[in-house]
Structure 1
Amino acid sequence: MSGLVVVGVDGSTSSLAAVEVAAREARLRGAGLRVVHAFVVWPATHVPLGPPPLEPPEPPEGGLRDMAHRLVTEAVERARTVAPDVDTSHVVVTAEPVTALEAQSRAAELVVVGSRGMGGFVGLLAGSTAVHLAAHGSCPVLVVREQPHADGPIVVGVDGSAAGQKAVDFAFAEAALRDAPLVAQHAWTTWNAPMPAPQDKSMPYANPPGALAEEEERLLSEALAGRQERYPGVTVEHKVVHGGTRESLIEASRSAQLVVVGARGRGGFSGLLLGSVSQALLHHAHCPVAVVRGAVERH
């Protein structure tokens, strides 16, 4: 076994969809799959309000553990239906789900979660576990929102930042594993594009028409440099969009099987662990989203 894919489950429909995606990822990578369920026992909620019963009740933790093992067993069976040849294990821990999965991410090459769990509120489109892991996990986090388009491309958001290079690497690797085309998309506006050096130094703010667009084309090409040689079988489309990054990637997700973004992009603040683009995709994308951090930050 060359690696490990971890999937968090809670019995919800969203988490079972994540199990199927995780099983496929493990099979593609030749990796093992670990199904993880975490729950917290709140003693205050089990204090009897009336007279003590005649029969001693089952310890609350024991009942929760039985339920946890049942849902984990269901998840493992679902995974083996999708990828019977993958070495699948499971673990049940008493801990906050975000804490448990963050710890599991330290030994994994990928963590997969559903966009919402059983406790998700109707108005909360991306669950707190998914958002937290995308910001704090020690490996890439794949959040399963809607069912992917099996024949769609991998779309990667490219902004030219150093932090975004890991996302580009991950997207190329995913495209190679899935034998899928890759769309490298870069969006720009006159407000966020770096100003090219003026050709006429006497007119520092004057540039010929199209200069900004050419500069953004160059930025995209430089950000992808060297990857095509490492992944010669991957067909890459360079796509430069004049418009908002969030809106253009959400639109691209309609026909994609996966969208890949960095946790923070160009101009990200050092204290902001998850950028506005990645957060927007976690809430509104039409396919699974992989969030890749540039480097593990100590916090």
Structure 2
Amino acid sequence: MSAGHVVVGFDGSPAATAALRWAADEARLRGVPLIAYTVTGHHNDLGDLPHRLAGGYPVTVRHHSGDAATLLCAACTPHGLLVLGTRARPAVSELVLGSVSRACLRHAPCPVVVIRDSTQLRHVRGFVTAGIRFPTGAGSILVAAAREARWRAGTLIAVHAQPLGNVDAQLLHAATARLNDQGHEWLAAQLAATGVHAVPEVVVGAPEKALLQHSAHAALLVLGAHQSSGLWTGQPGTMITHCIRQAPCPVMVVPNRPGHQKDADGRHQRDQ
């Protein structure tokens, strides 16, 4: 099954410029069409800028008027990808996202990648970090992260954050070591047929800190929009928003809606 097309919102701003450049590299990796949507009414001023920013990769530019989030979400399919740029904000508002980003993270039928204008756009290849609970895990997040790692010929770092509670230090150390062993076995079994090398990282404490530490040199950070455990929050929650605002790399948020995991798992099996 096709990986779907890559959609990117573009208005000529520094954040949108970074998003379009990254989207072109991602579309090239996937070998899929790239579509840039301008929905601000300023497309007459953009000229051939979208084509130049795509670095030679074919890009279709479509101009629309109306609500940006509604148009962008409608342009996406469950098998595709939506890429958005968001401007860096003062520290006092670091947990605030723009209205378009918030709406798309809630309603887009596909994974959404958010890129700040200050995001470090490293070489598209490299390792991928993901927030994944194991040994139960979250299928759609693992599938998306594994695919991104495979496209980049890189390692997948699966970060499991163990909450720090009123537990004896020795017991906590033993539980962490046991989870780490389980993580190795679980990831190896889940990804055996993909060729993706995955490394579990069990950390104690707040997930935000662990994810930011392990994405310091990553090509991409992958998170889930919803987790029933409550460890990873969504819609978008403060943990996701914090990572988008603070991570040095692009952040992908994977939806967990009825039918999405089935689609993702189906593609995962067929691509093996």
TM-score w.r.t. the length of structure 1 is 0.73
Q: C-alpha distance in 1, partners of 2:166/2:72? A: 35
| Per-residue deviation, 1:192 | 10
Identity %: 29
Equivalent positions of 1:221-260 (< 5 A) are 221=184, 224=187, 226-232=189-195, 234-260=196-222
| Pairing 1:35–2:36 present | yes
The one-character-per-residue Cα deviations of 1:178-226 (angstroms, maximum 9, x if unpaired) are 1122211111123399xxxxxxxxxxx9x95644224533563465353
Aligned to 2:61: 90
How far apart are the structure 2 equivalents of 1:223 and 1:116?
38
Aligned residue identity for 2:122: H
Q: Establish whether residue 156 from structure 1 lines up as the match of residue 130 from structure 2.
A: yes
Aligned to 1:216: 179
2:160 aligned to 169, 179, 186, which one? Answer: 186
CA deviation after TM superposition for structure 1 residue 35, in Å: 0.4
Sort the Cα spacing of 1:279 and 1:297 in 2 relative to 1 into closer, same or farther, 3 A.
farther
Aligned equivalents of 2:145, 2:51: Cα separation in 1 = 27
Task: Please give the root-mean-square deviation of Cα atoms over the aligned residues, in Å.
Answer: 3.2
Secondary structure of 2:102's partner? helix
Distance 2:90 2:68 in 1: 17
Q: Which runs of 4+ in 1 moved over 4 A?
A: 120-125
Q: Is the alpha carbon distance of 1:106 and 1:244 closer, same or farther for their aligned partners in structure 2, counting shifts above 3 Å?
A: same
Match of 2:109 among 121, 125, 138: 138
Structure 2: stretches of 5+ with no match in the other structure: 261-272
May I ask how many residue pairs the two structures share in their alignment?
A: 252
- Structure 2 residue aligned with 1:165, among 126, 133, 139? 139
Deviation at 1:162, TM superposition (A): 6.8
Return the offset for 1:148: 3.2
CA contact (8 A) 1:163 1:295 kept: no
Contact 1:163 1:293 in 2 (8 A): no
Q: Hey, what's the Cα distance between the residues in 2 that align with 1:215 and 1:100?
A: 47
Unaligned runs of at least 5 residues, structure 1: 40-63, 194-204
Alignment of 1:60-75 (within 5 A): 64=41, 67-71=42-46, 73-75=48-50
Deviation at 1:26, TM superposition (A): 0.7
> In the superposition, relative to structure 1, how do residues 222 and 237 fare at CA in structure 2: closer, same or farther (>3 Å)?
closer
Query: Which shifted more, 163-172 or 137-146?
Result: 163-172
Residue 231 of structure 2 corresponds to residue 273 of structure 1: no
Cα 1:222–1:30, aligned 2, differ >3 Å: closer, same or farther?
Answer: same
